[in-house]
Amino acid sequence: MARCVSHCSSSSTTFSPSSFKHERHLPRRLIPFTRWNPTSVSNCNPSPHLRKQFELKSSNGFPLNAVSLQDGLSGNSPAKEPVLSKDGSLLFSQSEKMESTISITVVGASGDLAKKKIFPALFALFYEDCLPEHFTVFGYARSKMTDEELRNTISKTLTCRIDKRENCSGKMDHFLQRCFYHSGQYDSEENFSDLDNKLTEKEAGKLPNRLFYLSIPPNIFVDVVRCASLRASSASGWTRVIVEKPFGRDAESSGELTRCLKQYLAEDQIFRIDHYLGKEIVENLSVLRFSNLVFEPLWSRNYIRNVQFIFSEDFGTEGRGGYFDNYGIIRDIMQNHLLQILTLFAMETPVTLDAEDIRNEKVKVLRSMRPVVLDDVTVGQYKGHTKGGKSYPAYTDDPTVPKGSLTPTFAAAALFIDNARWDGVPFLMKAGKALHTKRAEIRVQFRHVPGNLYKRNFGTDLGKATNELVLRLQPDEAIYLKINNKVPGLGMRLDRSDLNLLYKTRYSKEIPDAYERLLLDAMEGEHRLFIRSDELDAAWALFTPLLKELEEKKIAPELYPYGSRGPVGAHYLAAKHNVRWGDLSSDD
Ligand SMILES: NC(=O)C1=CN([C@@H]2O[C@H](COP(=O)(O)OP(=O)(O)OC[C@H]3O[C@@H](n4cnc5c(N)ncnc54)[C@H](OP(=O)(O)O)[C@@H]3O)[C@@H](O)[C@H]2O)C=CC1
Ligand SMILES: O=C1O[C@H](COP(=O)(O)O)[C@@H](O)[C@H](O)[C@H]1O
């Protein structure tokens, strides 16, 4: 982060804060409810007329046009307040209905994430008619490439998510024709000026809105934001920046990064992405809790014994060892993905579904939590293993990983929320690479039924008699509840069954990738699924002391074989808190 510090200090005298044009937000309640159709949220497909009027909908279901029209005030003229008609709909003058366009610049377009996730997500949005009529996609990186070469590269990863989709190849061609490439350095204002010229040309006099996606290593975030803000931000529309993790390595470096970004951007222009927040089941977590009477009353220490957040991958760092070794599994998965889900799980009912109301509740959870302590953590690292004649490498066999590295590829931790709702309930996290399976899930283990009448029928293992609610994020999205029931017949034998909502059998429509939802929300200016700076600070405050201690004390991770269930230390940790990992139980 040393570079960031120098930019910050030098820029504070040179540039005015927030060179990007600030956004103005229309209070959500001013958006006419008659036009909010929640059932169409995931199904863009607006009529061509609506698309012309920029009728995008975010995952919250709000139409975009209300935002884009008022965002599109030209120059520095003061914000015009929207006028409400008698029926509550918004009135705009004809001159304000200027056609707008969005330019999406993927910075780091030659990289892995851009190819694997960002371009395919943009194409999927285009395929589903979720992008506005006028849009352009630019790739930006140092690699030399022509427009055609970029199109060739990204065409290899574009897929119509379901086979045999109509017009897929035609739509791909149309999409690719909107994709362009500009080669430049990340710290060159001149190169960003050239990009600005190209963007302006493609915007063809329409109201320009610009979205930059920073799909680059974090040490160049601030350079890019500086150059883009000074040379390539929109003069009259909005400018927004999506920032990929990692947001620093600890509280200090993250705070420094935030300060540097805020030299050029207002908080509402920054979209800190955590792609787990865009996953379907994570979106469903709040719906499950707050729209079903049967769950919310149980959602507390009175009925819940423990909650588990589990992430496992059945492959190692493969190719990303260089990045990973500087971060480790706690920063890569726990401090962000799992902690974000935990806050959504544990938060109080927000006042509304607005981004600020939700994020306020999430911050309260984080601030009520105890910092994680070493005694409540176990770390591991995978070692080489041979199975069925096939050899699997150790983490330290990766040529980009320093020999003797102590970086954990596995961690388990117990966390606690010291508030009235969750006092004493262990929230366990477990995350690991090169394990026996790939999955991510939330498991909620409920308490025993008091004075259980059927104790006799369960035998001695009362742990099995309790209910467990599982939200499986991946693979095969599902929500299931383990219940006890009687085996049919004349006897009285009890069984354990799943009430199972398995998405693939319930819904024929395919589930969008998390990046689709998040990109759409960023275009809409919807921050609900992005991380606010105070959330980030609070998240780092929980993990920084632990991370420092692990590094200072050079804690050696427990080795576990590639493809195994992880180190045995995770079981001791769970047992210490009277917990059994649900994913390892025999009836799962
Ligand atoms: N890949 C993934 O699955 C995930 C990635 N991320 C994050 O997203 C961002 C992008 O990831 P990913 O695409 O894997 O990253 P890459 O390492 O592939 O980098 C992206 C591009 O940045 C340029 N670049 C790479 N290293 C440097 C450097 N040291 N200095 C200057 N430019 C460099 C390269 O482009 P060129 O040389 O052409 O300029 C490269 O193609 C990172 O912040 C990463 O942590 C987050 C979640 C998952
Ligand atoms: O952010 C990251 O996520 C991926 C896992 O994402 P998923 O959506 O495939 O579950 C992980 O592999 C990577 O290490 C991490 O940086």
Q: Are 226 and 339 members of one domain?
A: no
pLDDT (average), residues 573-585? 94
| Position 373 in a domain | yes
Taking the C-alpha atoms of 102, 107, 112 and 116 in order, what is their torsion angle to the nearest 10 degrees? 0
Q: Of 343, 370, 313, 342, nearest to 443 (Cα)?
A: 342
| CATH code (residue 141) | 3.40.50.720
Backbone angles phi, psi at 349, to 5 degrees: -60, 125
Backbone angles phi, psi at 202, to 5 degrees: -70, -30
| Position 463 in a domain | yes
Rounded Cα gap, residues 575 and 531, in angstroms: 33
The per-residue pLDDT for range 26-61, each reduced to its tens digit, is: 333 233 222 223 333 345 654 343 343 334 444 544
| Position 269 in a domain | no
Query: What is the count of structural domains for the chain?
Result: 2
Band of pLDDT at residue 129, cut at 50, 70 and 90? very high
| CATH code (residue 439) | 3.30.360.10
Question: Percent of the chain scored above 70 by pLDDT?
Answer: 82
Residue 332 in contact with ligand 2 by CB distance below 6 A: yes
Higher-pLDDT residue of 12 and 391 is 391
- Please check whether residue 314 is in contact with residue 563, taking contact to mean a CB–CB distance below 8 angstroms: yes
Sheet containing strand 494-502, edge to edge, reads 494-502, 478-486, 468-474, 439-446, 304-312, 427-432, 410-415, 377-383, 558-561
Rounded Cα gap, residues 266 and 21, in angstroms: 8
Distance 117 CA to ligand 2 centre (A): 11
Distance 114 CA to ligand 1 centre (A): 8
Distance 216 CA to ligand 1 centre (A): 4
Neighbours of 141 (CB within 10 A): 22
Higher-pLDDT residue of 89 and 387 is 387
Rounded Cα gap, residues 271 and 83, in angstroms: 29
Residue 376 in contact with ligand 2 by CB distance below 6 A: no
pLDDT of residue 465 exceeding 90, the answer is no
Which residue among 186, 216, 336 is best mutated to probe the pocket of ligand 1, counting the most ligand atoms within 8 A of its Cβ?
216
Band of pLDDT at residue 134, cut at 50, 70 and 90? very high
Distance 154 CA to ligand 2 centre (A): 20
Higher-pLDDT residue of 325 and 79 is 325
The dihedral sign for the CA sequence 365, 369, 374, 377: negative
Distance 255 CA to ligand 2 centre (A): 23
pLDDT of residue 161: 74
Residue 97: Cβ-neighbour burial (10 angstroms; 0-12, 13-18, 19+): middle
pLDDT of residue 459: 67
Distance 321 CA to ligand 1 centre (A): 13
pLDDT of residue 478: 98
Q: Are 224 and 288 members of one domain?
A: no
pLDDT of residue 163: 58
Active site residues: 337
| Position 120 in a domain | yes
Place of tokens 């008659």: 34
- Please check whether residue 139 is in contact with residue 171, taking contact to mean a CB–CB distance below 8 angstroms: no
pLDDT of residue 21 exceeding 50, the answer is no
pLDDT (average), residues 355-380? 98
- Please check whether residue 104 is in contact with residue 97, taking contact to mean a CB–CB distance below 8 angstroms: no
Residue 108 in contact with ligand 1 by CB distance below 6 A: yes
ipTM of model: 0.98
Q: Are 448 and 355 members of one domain?
A: yes
Q: Are 149 and 231 members of one domain?
A: yes
Rounded Cα gap, residues 305 and 578, in angstroms: 9
pLDDT of residue 52: 39
Q: Are 321 and 461 members of one domain?
A: yes
| pLDDT, averaged across the chain | 86
Domain with 193, as residue range(s), is 100-244
Rounded Cα gap, residues 484 and 454, in angstroms: 10
Residue 218 in contact with ligand 1 by CB distance below 6 A: yes
Which residue among 117, 157, 215, 325 is best mutated to probe the pocket of ligand 1, counting the most ligand atoms within 8 A of its Cβ?
215
Q: Are 332 and 442 members of one domain?
A: yes
Residue 111 in contact with ligand 1 by CB distance below 6 A: yes
pLDDT (average), residues 318-346? 95
Q: Are 208 and 297 members of one domain?
A: no
| Position 251 in a domain | no
pLDDT of residue 463: 62
pLDDT of residue 167: 81
Residue 419 in contact with ligand 1 by CB distance below 6 A: no
End-to-end CA distance of the chain: 44
- Please check whether residue 551 is in contact with residue 278, taking contact to mean a CB–CB distance below 8 angstroms: no
pLDDT of residue 115 exceeding 50, the answer is yes
The per-residue pLDDT for range 57-90, each reduced to its tens digit, is: 445 444 443 333 333 323 333 333 444 444 444 4
Residue 441 in contact with ligand 2 by CB distance below 6 A: no
Band of pLDDT at residue 197, cut at 50, 70 and 90? very high
Residue 244 in contact with ligand 2 by CB distance below 6 A: no
Task: Record the tokens describing residue 469, joined without a space.
Answer: 């609610």
pLDDT of residue 26: 36
Which residue among 106, 112, 247 is best mutated to probe the pocket of ligand 1, counting the most ligand atoms within 8 A of its Cβ?
112
Rounded Cα gap, residues 542 and 251, in angstroms: 9
Residue 223 in contact with ligand 2 by CB distance below 6 A: no
Q: Are 495 and 401 members of one domain?
A: yes
pLDDT of residue 408 exceeding 90, the answer is yes
pLDDT (average), residues 168-178? 94
Question: Percent of the chain scored above 90 by pLDDT?
Answer: 75
Of 80-89, 271-280, 480-489, least confident by mean pLDDT is 80-89
The per-residue pLDDT for range 240-266, each reduced to its tens digit, is: 999 999 999 999 999 999 999 999 999
Domain end marker among 188, 216, 244: 244
* Ligand (nearest to CA of 332): 2
Beta carbons within 8 Å of 352's beta carbon, 6+ residues apart: 28
Residue of the CA atom closest to atom 36 of ligand 1: 142
pLDDT of residue 568 exceeding 90, the answer is yes
Q: For 238-255, b where at least 16 C-beta lie within 10 A, e where not — what string?
A: bbbbbbbbbbbbbbebbb
